[in-house]
Amino acid sequence: MDKLKIGKFLHYKGNYILFSIVLIALIGSGFYFSHHTSGQVQIPKHVSLKYGPDSKQSLDLYAPAVNRSKKLPVIIYVHGGGWSGGDKSNVAEKPAFFTNNGYVFISINHRLSPKVSYVDMADDVAESVKWVYDNAAKYQIDRRKLNLMGHSSGGHLVMLIGTNPAYLNRVGLSPQSINSIISLEGPLDLTAFIQRMGSYKKVFGNDQKVWAEASPVTYASNKKLPPMFLVAHGNGSIASFVDQAKGSGNTIESFSVQTLTHSGVTAVLGASNASDEAKKMTNAVSAFLKKYNP
């Protein structure tokens, strides 16, 4: 073989080897990218919808990208705001966190004080649950796994409709339609709460009979309530409710907050960059949900 042929042979062989190395590297990097990004946070699909005629009767639905044939548990979240403010957009990182853990996450708005009473607000929450129940198949929701969550006044409202059957009964459902309830510092005893925080008389009036009727603790002894998880600063504000509910055979779990602020409780739930206590709270909430949404 002359020098020209040898040179061409080595040139072609060298190019082939280089091409092979590049191809292997691309395949390897593709595998690495696929393998190492599969567990990263995915942006959930988001759509805004109406569950009633009023402009406030609306919801934001966040859904993970999953097999269309798979039905998912849902979390219906009610914002805080002292029954007179707040918005369904106040969800921090919860939509991303929960959709990445296999839940549809729905944040609702409801009518507010002073335009409506607390009864109307609770009715709105019940109506939103009914809407989710009726539209479950359209949005890949397993309507046997309806989970309620609320912060502050929203926590009060989800606990109220979950313990007093009148609200869900009015929309053709019952507390047994609810899979579980999570209250993030929602007031359970309005009589004690308003005696400490007199400014909320503007929402509930001055009649202590009304305060009692608005209090989830009044219905804590009802039997066959949904499993409940209560996040609170210490146990003082939830002790009576827990004792009565457990005394009637209901399932209650709780997490005692030490350092988080009232607003921080919802702001850091599911947050990617959170304190140790926030992570413990998120893990406790997640474990509770997983127990009832296998």
Q: For residue 193, give the nearest of 232, 148, 147 by alpha carbon.
A: 232
Q: How far apart are CA 90 and CA 282, in angstroms?
A: 17
On whether the CB atoms of residues 235 and 254 are closer than 8 A, the answer is: yes
Q: How far apart are CA 105 and CA 195, in angstroms?
A: 35
Q: Burial code of 246-280, b = ≥16 C-beta within 10 A, e = fewer?
A: eeeebebbbbebeebeeebbbbbbbbeebeebbee
On whether the CB atoms of residues 261 and 268 are closer than 8 A, the answer is: no
Q: Which residue has the tokens 């369904």?
A: 88
Q: How far apart are CA 150 and CA 167, in angstroms?
A: 16
Q: How far apart are CA 268 and CA 260, in angstroms?
A: 9
- Length of the chain counted residue by residue: 294
What is the pLDDT, as a whole number, of residue 43? Answer: 59
What is the pLDDT, as a whole number, of residue 187? Answer: 98
Proportion of the chain in helix, strand, coil states, percent, rounded to 5: 45, 20, 35
On whether the CB atoms of residues 271 and 157 are closer than 8 A, the answer is: no
What is the pLDDT, as a whole number, of residue 69? Answer: 78
Alpha-carbon dihedral sign for residues 220, 222, 223, 229: negative
Q: Burial code of 153-187, b = ≥16 C-beta within 10 A, e = fewer?
A: bbbbbbbbbbbbbebbeebebebebbbbbbbbbbb
Q: What is the pLDDT along the chain (294 residues), one digit of tens a residue?
A: 444 444 444 444 444 444 443 333 333 433 322 333 334 455 578 999 999 999 999 999 999 987 777 899 999 999 999 999 999 999 999 999 999 999 999 999 999 999 999 999 999 999 999 999 999 999 999 999 999 999 999 999 999 999 999 999 999 999 999 999 999 999 999 999 999 999 999 999 999 999 999 999 999 999 999 999 999 999 999 999 999 999 999 999 999 999 999 999 999 999 999 999 999 999 999 999 999 999
What is the pLDDT, as a whole number, of residue 65? Answer: 82
Burial class (CB within 10 angstroms; exposed 0-12, middle 13-18, buried 19+) of 30:
exposed
String of DSSP letters for 226-293 = PPEEEEEESSTTTHHHHHHHHHTT--EEEEEESS--HHHHHHSTT-SS--HHHHHHHHHHHHHHHHH-
Q: Which amino acid is at 144?
A: R
